[in-house]
Amino acid sequence: MFRIAVLDDYQDAAHELADWGSISDAELQFFHNTLHEPGALIKRLKPFNVLMTMRERTRFPAEVLEGLPNLRLISGTGRRQSNVDIATATRLGITVCSGAGGGGSAGSTAELTWALILSCFRHLALEDREIRQGHWQTRLGSGLEGKALGILGLGRIGTRVAKIGQAFGMHVISWGPTLTRERAKEHGVTYVSWEGLFSDADVLSIHVTLSDLSRGWVGAKEFGLMRPTAYLINTARSAIVDQSALLDALGNGSIAGAGLDVYDEEPLPPGDPMLGLDNTVLAPHLGYATRESLAAFYRDAIANVIAWQAGSPVNVENPDVLKKT
């Protein structure tokens, strides 16, 4: 009998989104909150043989993996398992698997991007609070037609965001580390320089992968280039943006505001300075968290467990571990 922990089921919805009975000889337990402190995480997960993770909500550095002697499989969701110390997992004989299709979350993230853009431009979150307090039309919003939409990274998600911007009658500009003028043109997008992306955009939306190259890309210099009427939207990863520089820009009026779905610490802790700003729209990392995407994530994760039980693991992130078995 395998003991399986299904982690970070924030909305207590995992049990209804997948066919858990298809896993044989398994005892499952669902956890609905995230633990960050290594000792507490080890204490919770020590009895389990298999962990089913939801993206990067829980991190597994070497210290944690070394404290889980019964662990044999991490069945992750999404295309990459950047939350796991792969080298340590391999050394300890722990197989790490990714989702086969990534969960198909590009569409849901693009949709949330537009929810944040519209909320910023029309001050929906602020006006919702005001109307509940008896006030009416407290701040003048702006339209999108004719505005410049800047996209940092014209990949799977960025191209979807661009198409919607074009439907709103926006002029779409983009820069990306591998983007060419020709490929941008194929999508009806104008290729611009790094500086031009920030100086010309009325709203700048981030859609690049976090890497050593992109970490801290958007900082004080970039915010200094932006218009005081412009908005920053981040549904990618918080570390792409220098958070101190972002707080300064929001506080001193260098930019008009921000729509954010990602943070350095998640869930966002009480007392975080972002919570005290009235020119931000904050979402609790909802980009991929739709019923459809989570169901696809869990389907892939379950398939990985079943294949591993059968002795033929698939979607393995650390194939060297197979040599140990």
CA torsion, points 249, 253, 254, 258, in degrees to nearest 10? 60
Question: Is 2-103+290-324 CATH 3.40.50.970?
Answer: no
CB 239 within 8 A of CB 212: no
Q: What is the predicted pLDDT for the residue at 102?
A: 55
Q: Which residue carries 């295309």 as its tokens?
A: 79
56 among known catalytic residues: no
Active-site choice (222, 285, 299, 317): 285
| Tens-binned pLDDT, residue by residue, of the chain (325 aa) | 899 999 999 999 999 999 999 999 999 999 999 999 999 999 999 999 999 999 989 999 999 999 999 999 999 998 889 999 999 999 999 999 998 765 556 899 999 999 999 999 999 999 999 999 999 999 999 999 999 999 999 999 999 999 999 999 999 999 999 999 999 999 999 999 999 999 999 999 999 999 999 999 999 999 999 999 999 999 999 999 999 999 999 999 999 999 999 999 999 999 999 999 999 999 999 999 999 999 999 999 999 999 999 999 999 999 999 886 6
Tell the CATH topology of 107-282. Rossmann fold (3.40.50)
Active-site choice (55, 171, 207, 237): 237
Active-site choice (111, 130, 266, 292): 266
Domain spans in the chain, listed from the N-terminal domain onward: 2-103+290-324, 107-282
Q: What is the predicted pLDDT for the residue at 182?
A: 97
According to DSSP, residue 284 is labeled S
Residue 202: exposure state from Cβ atoms within 10 A (0-12, 13-18, ≥19): buried
237 among known catalytic residues: yes
Nearest CA among 171, 194, 174 for reference residue 184: 174
Q: What is the predicted pLDDT for the residue at 100?
A: 74
Distance CA 68, CA 202 (A): 49
Residue 169: exposure state from Cβ atoms within 10 A (0-12, 13-18, ≥19): exposed
Q: What is the predicted pLDDT for the residue at 106?
A: 81
15 among known catalytic residues: no
